[in-house]
Amino acid sequence: MDISKLIKQIQIKKSFLCVGLDTDLAKIPEHLHQQPNPIFEFNRQIIDATAKYAVAYKPNIAFYEAIGKEGWEALKQTIDYLNSQYPEIFTTADAKRGDIGNTASKYAQAFFDDLNFDAITVAPYMGKDSVEPFLAYQNKHTILLALTSNEGAFDFQTQTLKNKDSLYQTVLKTSQTWKNSENLMYVVGATKAEYFKEIRQIIPHSFLLVPGVGAQGGSLKEVCQYGLTKDCGLLVNSSRGIIYASNGKDFAQAAELKAKGLQEEMAIYL
Amino acid sequence: MDISKLIKQIQIKKSFLCVGLDTDLAKIPEHLHQQPNPIFEFNRQIIDATAKYAVAYKPNIAFYEAIGKEGWEALKQTIDYLNSQYPEIFTTADAKRGDIGNTASKYAQAFFDDLNFDAITVAPYMGKDSVEPFLAYQNKHTILLALTSNEGAFDFQTQTLKNKDSLYQTVLKTSQTWKNSENLMYVVGATKAEYFKEIRQIIPHSFLLVPGVGAQGGSLKEVCQYGLTKDCGLLVNSSRGIIYASNGKDFAQAAELKAKGLQEEMAIYL
């Protein structure tokens, strides 16, 4: 997807909400287990209920791999459903892959060609040749981990290097020199809102995928204060807070209400 | 698998060879494409031909994900075949995963419970809580990326931090403080053989998984010079150099010869 289409959706829906489809068999409503494919059925109903308020969906691949071949099948059905029913929606595989060049090409093939996602999250530890095979795809987006929402972000990402920058700042600056870096976006956790100001000094225009609002405790208001750009520049993700708002038969309506609430708050900040 | 079983295998076979099953439909011999499951058939014949000389197998998950559901099925058949026919063999999923705690648990479930690998490669960028869910499994091994074999290793891994250590040294030291760190092994590329001396000062006893011998140009002799411990402490991987030694009907015999050659060289250094 061309980035201008995403920006247009954000303007139309007055929303920069990404719904995280971290779908866990153990957490979905009881009554769905009678369906032939409960994971896909759950996703389909969540998508139909929230698509008015969301511009992006992000299945985390771990939840699908955890149940093997059936999980992969449910992932494929979900992305096919999104691409056919909601072609205006931006889709991201939250996969956090990273491997040497010839292997990275295989992951790019898996998520961009076979599954046809618009974007994938990628880990930076292995450097340039582990990321450029993803960047080579036109109109596909590579969302590089910069500063993540978890406690472990302080183990390495915020460590200061000899050049005075922290590791995540070095990741931002170095990756901007890579081939096709215009296809880069970055993961920056909402739980680190105080860092957004300095991040915007390094990458003033890049889109940021922001997890950590909701269950993880990040504040939407603080993220917007320093993170918003003239084209919005943010995709704020909520997973558990939306998809598990209820585990009864009303789960889709409950998810819709949560998504609507976030969209309305987003409309104020836009 | 208890680590003592791996050490015993190394002593019996006089080998610390790991065969990388980076199986690519575009590269396997023509005649296998008539089989109902060419990927598994290729893997099975490679395993049967090389198991005398190898102590470990390591499918790289990217190659399986690249072909979707059929790939996942072939991966499952391959690990099931290894576990049933060669229970003494150490199996590693080369997956390089890394995500926040609840998601990392799902990846651990996928590779340790569902697929029943003995080990998985994991990326350190997201820190402690992204790795500890893997470490929590008894008799399972978490192989953390430290210094990888590719050019991109110099982008971030070898950068010096304010504490004077490089990032990969900090990864080694910090990870040793994590809960259940006795279940850690590390990836160190053979292409960086000159670094093994200082790595062994930080982690004198840990097993190292060493890619980069063969197609990537690393020297087995140099790796052994500084990397070997009294329990061996090394698993040296070769993928393309073994599995694609021939793309004719003799591919399995050609792979056997390559594996035998490496084993014989290893026996000298042990």
pLDDT at position B265: 96
Are residues B124 and A76, on separate chains, in Cβ contact within 8 Å?
no
In DSSP terms, which residues pair with A59 in a beta bridge? Answer: A21
**pLDDT band for position B216 (cuts 50, 70, 90):** confident
Q: Name the residue among B101, B103, B161 with its Cβ closest to that of A162.
A: B161
Q: Does A109 touch chain B (CB under 8 A)?
A: yes
pLDDT at position A191: 87
**pLDDT band for position B9 (cuts 50, 70, 90):** very high
Token pair, residue B265, equals 């060289």
Q: Which chain A residues touch B60 with a CB distance below 8 Å?
A: 99, 103, 106
Q: Name the residue among B97, B145, B162 with its Cβ closest to that of A161.
A: B162
Interface size, chain A vs chain B, as Cβ–Cβ contacts under 8 Å: 188
Q: Does B67 touch chain A (CB under 8 A)?
A: yes
**ipTM score over 0.90, yes or no:** yes
pLDDT tens, position by position, B82-120: 999 999 999 999 999 999 999 999 999 999 999 999 999
CB count in 10 Å sphere of residue A85: 12
Q: Which chain A residues touch B104 with a CB distance below 8 Å?
A: 62
Token pair, residue B182, equals 């006795």
Q: Which residue has the tokens 């499951």?
A: B37
Share of residues in chain B with pLDDT > 70 (%): 100
CATH of A3-269, one of 3.40.190.80, 3.20.20.70, 3.40.50.1100, 3.40.50.720: 3.20.20.70
Mutate to test the interface with B, among A156, A173, A243 (most CBs of B within 10 A): A156
Task: Flag residues of chain A having pLDDT under 70.
Answer: none
Are residues B161 and A157, on separate chains, in Cβ contact within 8 Å?
no
What residues have CB less than 8 Å from B25, skipping those under 6 apart? Answer: B33, B38, B39, B67
Of the residues A76, A96, A128, A260, only one is catalytic, namely: A96
pLDDT at position B179: 98
C-alpha–C-alpha distance, residues A205 and A228, integer Å: 9
Q: Is B174 a residue whose pLDDT tops 80?
A: yes
State the virtual CA torsion across B198, B199, B200, B204 in degrees, nearest 10: 140
pLDDT at position B218: 82
Q: Which residue has the tokens 């694609």?
A: B244
Q: Is B217 a residue whose pLDDT tops 80?
A: no
Are residues A123 and B96, on separate chains, in Cβ contact within 8 Å?
yes
List the domain boundaries for chain B.
3-269
Q: Which chain B residues touch A66 with a CB distance below 8 Å?
A: 106-107, 109-110, 114
**pLDDT band for position B30 (cuts 50, 70, 90):** very high
Q: Does A149 touch chain B (CB under 8 A)?
A: yes
pLDDT at position B193: 84
On average, the pLDDT of chain B sits at 96
Task: Judge whether A96 counts as a catalytic residue.
Answer: yes
pLDDT at position B250: 98
Q: How crowded is the C-beta side of A81, counted as CA atoms within 13 Å? A: 19
Q: Does B157 touch chain A (CB under 8 A)?
A: yes
In DSSP terms, which residues pair with B17 in a beta bridge? Answer: B236
3-state secondary structure chain A: CCHHHHHHHHHHHCCCEEEEECCCCCCCCHHHHHCCCHHHHHHHHHHHHHCCCCCEEEEEHHHHHCCCHHHHHHHHHHHHHHHHHCCCCEEEEEEEECCCHHHHHHHHHHHHHHCCCCEEEECCCCCHHHHHHHHCCCCCEEEEEEECCCHHHHCCCCCEECCCCEHHHHHHHHHCCCCCHHHEEEEECHHHHHHHHHHHHHCCCCCEEECCECCCCECHHHHHHHHCECCECEEEEECHHHHCCCCCCCHHHHHHHHHHHHHHHHHHHC
C-alpha–C-alpha distance, residues A218 and A215, integer Å: 8
Are residues B130 and A149, on separate chains, in Cβ contact within 8 Å?
no
Taking alpha carbons only, the member of A209, A202, A128, A196 closest to residue A172 is A202
Tell me which chain A residue has its CA closest to the CA of residue B157. A125
Query: Region B18-46: what's the mean pLDDT?
Result: 96
Taking alpha carbons only, the member of B117, B129, B102, B108 closest to residue B209 is B117
Whole-model pTM? 0.97
Q: Which long-range contacts (CB under 8 A, 24 or more apart) does A209-212 make?
A: A209/A18, A209/A58, A209/A92, A209/A121, A209/A143, A209/A185, A209/A235, A209/A237, A210/A234, A210/A235, A210/A236, A210/A237, A211/A20, A211/A148, A211/A149, A211/A187, A211/A237, A211/A239, A212/A149, A212/A237
Contact A115, B65 (CB under 8 A): no
Tell me which chain B residue has its CA closest to the CA of residue A26. B106
Distances (CA, A) of A87 to A4, A9, A41, A55: 14, 11, 19, 11
pLDDT at position B212: 86
C-alpha–C-alpha distance, residues A252 and A242, integer Å: 9
**pLDDT band for position B213 (cuts 50, 70, 90):** confident
Q: Name the residue among A106, A152, A171 with its Cβ closest to that of B62.
A: A106
Contact A205, A185 (CB under 8 A): no
Rounded to the nearest angstrom, the minimum Cα separation between B267 and chain A is 29
Rounded to the nearest angstrom, the minimum Cα separation between A168 and chain B is 10
pLDDT tens, position by position, A228-246: 999 999 999 999 999 999 9
Share of residues in chain B with pLDDT > 90 (%): 94
C-alpha–C-alpha distance, residues B206 and B97, integer Å: 20
Mutate to test the interface with A, among B65, B176, B177 (most CBs of A within 10 A): B65
Q: Does A129 touch chain B (CB under 8 A)?
A: yes
